[in-house]
Structure 1
Amino acid sequence: MAGNKVEFLEWSFTKLSESIRTKEISPVEVVEESIKYIEQTNTKINAFITVMYDEAAEKAKKAESEILRGEYKGTLHGVPIGLKDIIYTKGTRTTFGAERYKDFIPNMNAEIVNKLDVSGAIIIGKQNLHQFAYGTTGDRSFFGPTLNPKNTEKVTGGSSAGGAAAVAADMCYASIGSDTGGSIRIPASFCGIVGMKPTYGLVSKHGSMALSWSLDHLGPMTKTVKDNALLLNAIAGYDSKDPQSDKSQPTIDFSSLLGKSIKNLRIGVPSSFYFDIIQEEVLEKFEKVIDLLKSQGVEIVPVKLEHMDELLISQQVVISTESFTSLENEVSEAPEMIDDEVRSRILGGMLTQASDYIRMLRMKNFGIEMFKNAMRDIDLMVTPTICALPSDIEQRVVYFDEKKEHPRIFARLTGPTNTVGFPSLSVPGGKSSNGLPIGIQFIGRPYEETTLYQVGYALEQLIN
């Protein structure tokens, strides 16, 4: 975004952290300049719902004192980041992008907030979203649509719209988003940043709004792959307060393979589904990325994934049913306070029969085995993140040659890994002819985020 800003706001937080560590730049200065730029830019793209002026200033002074005393905590110490406004922050309103909760102030912090506090990160504000985290476009919020900083006539993607827009516009160094069907990866792709949906159960969801408990994930949104891996290091880990948290998860340094050669890695490309409905420019950019990977000695292997449409349908039924259960009070007690489009989607879950819901849940186990078998002889898979370029704000049609689709199509290529819980990383893969970002999705086996970061980092270096 155009505007007056100091150079360090454009940096990755990995680069910034070195200047903070060596005391060349103060966390107080970083927060002051960040807030100044947020005030200047937020009127243009509407990425933040609440800016935490006093809290951020206080944390910045604390970080500065700690660093001056020689108590530097690591790369996140003194770094301003944003939170999707479904994540509870004690004493600061958490709205879910909804009128009913416009003044809701939690009396607790989400576990992810506690982890960020331990790392020394500074939460600078709460970010806009598609209302109740239920939508692929990011233009349905009580607080107004978030606009794409790459082209403000286009959607950011959803539902973690404000998080992606804020990072892309240099309003903060990173964001925490949620992803139920692609809600981190879709806006990351549309805004040209890096977004990770981690392995299911890797990051605690305690203290965040539940849309669909069997599909919800929290994850990092950043400017670079290295930043993403380091932020995941800070937020991952077992939490007894989250029933879905995996107690058996390994302790991993997710940055450990960054910069390692990708030569001889076997990367699978699905032979169907991911390319059945796709815009030509997206396909062309994907094919160029494949050529780049081949140039580094990667072996591209065709893989077969069957019954993917059924898996996608199961994901849609599960999210619809569970969202109605989660938000039943909202739609029954104050339906007029919910966006029409969002309310319609929630109410759709009321029609699901219990037997259908159970049958769709069983598809998860089938999907897990299918993905495991497909990845038995490869290291990871690569696909486009989204089958289309971003649509216009408020537009509800996406064009594929002669065919028209609803923007729900944006989640077609991301939704399956929510169902199976496998990690999926979206990294920028280039731009369209009119300058719109196009994302590339890497899919790995559970707890193999390090491999996704290894290849994502290599692609990032090749493109940059």
Structure 2
Amino acid sequence: MNDILFETIEAASSAIKNKKLSPVELTKLTLHRIQQHDPVLNAFITVMEEEAMEQAKQLEIESQKNHIRGPLHGIPIAVKDILQTKGVLTTGGSKIFQDWVPNEDATSIKKLKQAGAIIIGKTNLHEFAMGATTENPHYGSTKNPWDITRIPGGSSGGSAVATATGLAFGAVGSDTAGSIRLPAAFCGTVGFKPTYGLVSREGCLPFSWSLDHVGPMTRSVKDAAFMLEVMRGYDPNDRSTVKRDEFKISDYSLLNDLKGIKFGIYEPYMFSGIDQDIKEVIEQAFDQLEALGAEIVPIHLPGIEEALNALKCIAQSEVVSFHQPLLRRHGELYGNDLKYRFQFGREVSATSYINAHRIRNQFVKETIKQMKDIDALIGPTNIQRPFKIGTMVPEQAISNMFTLGKTPLANILGFPSLSVACGFTMDTLPIGLQLIGKPFSDKKILQIGDCYENSQRWLQALRENRNYSPIKS
């Protein structure tokens, strides 16, 4: 029965709908697997055993009455511990909030519950989502399931690991410069950052109001679409959200090929600093996309370096703004890499911050012009292997997201971005292929990713991975 834990949400949902599997059985199997493997992986800060079983029993009653809320009915989903969960500890990966129990759910979690998702636990993260490694000084480091001596990426590392190892069918992450997509790439899963404003951030502890996104992390692209359909939508409590009806799972159609799809590649950015081993795999993925009928053309992105520097300025100044009251009261409780990051943020002047937003707005306008005749930008998600746990000093940690991958570009743009597994390094570490679409082309990007993914056998690779535990399951 443990094989079911590596099936897609779609497959598990079908089994529940056809009464071949019950929500209670599936939740018990998931909790048992967490007990077996999480002591090594450290993907969770809090496992919600009691709450999950209570949800499962209610959903099982509904199933027996042939009332299925949708494709997430009875499906165990994990939540990054930066999103509020009603009545359940929400730490933000920090000692400052080690005893905080919110009295309401984050909007995205509320929507998932209403859709029948079973919240199985709160996943580990880089402290306050402010880093790319998920080396947490308070709750321990999360381990990469392909090599437990290495980082899983961050900041949504626990969410990626739980999804990759059958401890959840999917997870919710947050993404300010790549915190969904980089760990997805390092762990061999799917990570999707929606268009800015498509999914509410209400109830998510902020890093940067201008750059934060909340999105799904799954084992298949179509599963990410199932989660996104539930999570998206206007929220009066988050003024950044917008009313858009373009994305509806009911009309999510599969693409049999990619004929007529045109990708743009800006090589001076996408291939800068890339490991040759990874570049070769990315180029093989490009070949596969072309074999499916797509066209790949060079594109220019003027002003990209200035825009990425603007992202750093915006993020670091906004995060200091949020944390300033906490720093005055609990400064000693922060990890060393965060203390160093705050020093940088304090030095950003109001003039620099305003100019950074001006640079960003100009870059967005110019990029939309450059993408006029293409469907998406394309490139690697990660350009380096995940490094060994404990090898990064605080002074270097602030730049990890920029040296390890090419994810920050989609955040300064606010455009939808997908990371999908595309192969392995020579030492069997996963590599991610990244697509960046035009604003609110989320559905098209997922359809393209789904078509590419269907030409691979990635789920089988996740199922067969035993690198994180000697237990044969």
Bin for the TM-score computed over the shorter chain? over 0.9
Offset at residue 347 of structure 1 (A): 3.0
The answer as to 2:380 corresponding to 1:372 is: no
Offset at residue 410 of structure 1 (A): 4.2
Normalized against structure 2, the TM-score is what?
Answer: 0.93
Offset at residue 99 of structure 1 (A): 0.7
The AA in structure 2 aligned to 1:250 is: D
The answer as to 2:51 corresponding to 1:58 is: no
Deviations 1:315-363 (A, max 9, x none): 0111100000111122221111110111211232111110000000112
1:225 maps to 221
Aligned length, in residue pairs: 453
76-85 vs 108-117, which deviates more? 108-117
Q: Could you tell me which of 77, 82, 87 is aligned with 1:86?
A: 82
176-185 vs 358-367, which deviates more? 358-367
- Describe the SS at the equivalent of 1:426: strand
2:450 maps to 457
1:292 maps to 288
Partners of 2:148 and 2:357 in 1: CA distance = 39
- Describe the SS at the equivalent of 1:177: strand
The answer as to 2:378 corresponding to 1:382 is: yes
1:186 and 1:410 in contact (8 A); partners too: no
Partners of 2:254 and 2:353 in 1: CA distance = 41
The AA in structure 2 aligned to 1:239 is: D
1:448 maps to 441
Deviations 1:33-78 (A, max 9, x none): 1111101111001000001111100100000000111111111000
Partners of 2:443 and 2:105 in 1: CA distance = 28
Q: Could you tell me which of 184, 187, 191 is aligned with 1:188?
A: 184
1:438 maps to 431
* Percent identical: 38
Deviations 1:249-301 (A, max 9, x none): 23412571323421121111113211122111111111101111111121111
2:131 and 2:398 in contact (8 A); partners too: no
Deviations 1:349-380 (A, max 9, x none): 11111000000011221121122012101111
Please list, as runs of the form range in 1=range in 2, the aligned pairs for 1:325-344 lying within 5 A after superposition: 325-344=321-340
1:418 maps to 411
Deviations 1:143-165 (A, max 9, x none): 01100111101100000010000
Partners of 2:27 and 2:160 in 1: CA distance = 19
Offset at residue 450 of structure 1 (A): 1.6
Partners of 2:405 and 2:290 in 1: CA distance = 26
Partners of 1:138 and 1:346 in 2: CA distance = 18
Q: What RMSD over aligned residues (CA atoms) do the two structures have, in Å?
A: 1.5
Partners of 1:394 and 1:431 in 2: CA distance = 23
Offset at residue 452 of structure 1 (A): 1.1
1:257 and 1:453 in contact (8 A); partners too: no
2:247 maps to 252
- Structure 2 gaps of 5+ residues are 458-473
Partners of 1:439 and 1:405 in 2: CA distance = 22
Partners of 1:7 and 1:292 in 2: CA distance = 29
1:260 and 1:454 in contact (8 A); partners too: no
Partners of 2:226 and 2:76 in 1: CA distance = 14
Q: Could you tell me which of 154, 168, 191 is aligned with 1:158?
A: 154
The answer as to 2:276 corresponding to 1:280 is: yes
- Describe the SS at the equivalent of 1:342: helix
- Describe the SS at the equivalent of 2:149: coil
Partners of 1:323 and 1:364 in 2: CA distance = 18
Offset at residue 405 of structure 1 (A): 11
1:331 and 1:347 in contact (8 A); partners too: no
The answer as to 2:402 corresponding to 1:409 is: yes
The answer as to 2:27 corresponding to 1:34 is: no
Partners of 2:180 and 2:260 in 1: CA distance = 30
Partners of 1:115 and 1:36 in 2: CA distance = 26
Partners of 2:418 and 2:178 in 1: CA distance = 10
1:257 and 1:451 in contact (8 A); partners too: no
2:128 maps to 132
1:425 and 1:452 in contact (8 A); partners too: yes
1:427 maps to 420
1:401 maps to none
The answer as to 2:3 corresponding to 1:10 is: no
Deviations 1:70-120 (A, max 9, x none): 111111000000000011111101000001111111111111111011110
2:401 and 2:408 in contact (8 A); partners too: no
- Describe the SS at the equivalent of 2:136: coil
Please list, as runs of the form range in 1=range in 2, the aligned pairs for 1:57-136 lying within 5 A after superposition: 57-136=53-132
- Structure 1 gaps of 5+ residues are 398-403
Partners of 1:352 and 1:407 in 2: CA distance = 20
- Describe the SS at the equivalent of 1:152: coil
Partners of 1:314 and 1:218 in 2: CA distance = 21
Partners of 2:229 and 2:301 in 1: CA distance = 31
- Describe the SS at the equivalent of 1:209: coil
1:95 and 1:102 in contact (8 A); partners too: yes
- Describe the SS at the equivalent of 1:277: coil
Normalized against structure 1, the TM-score is what?
Answer: 0.95
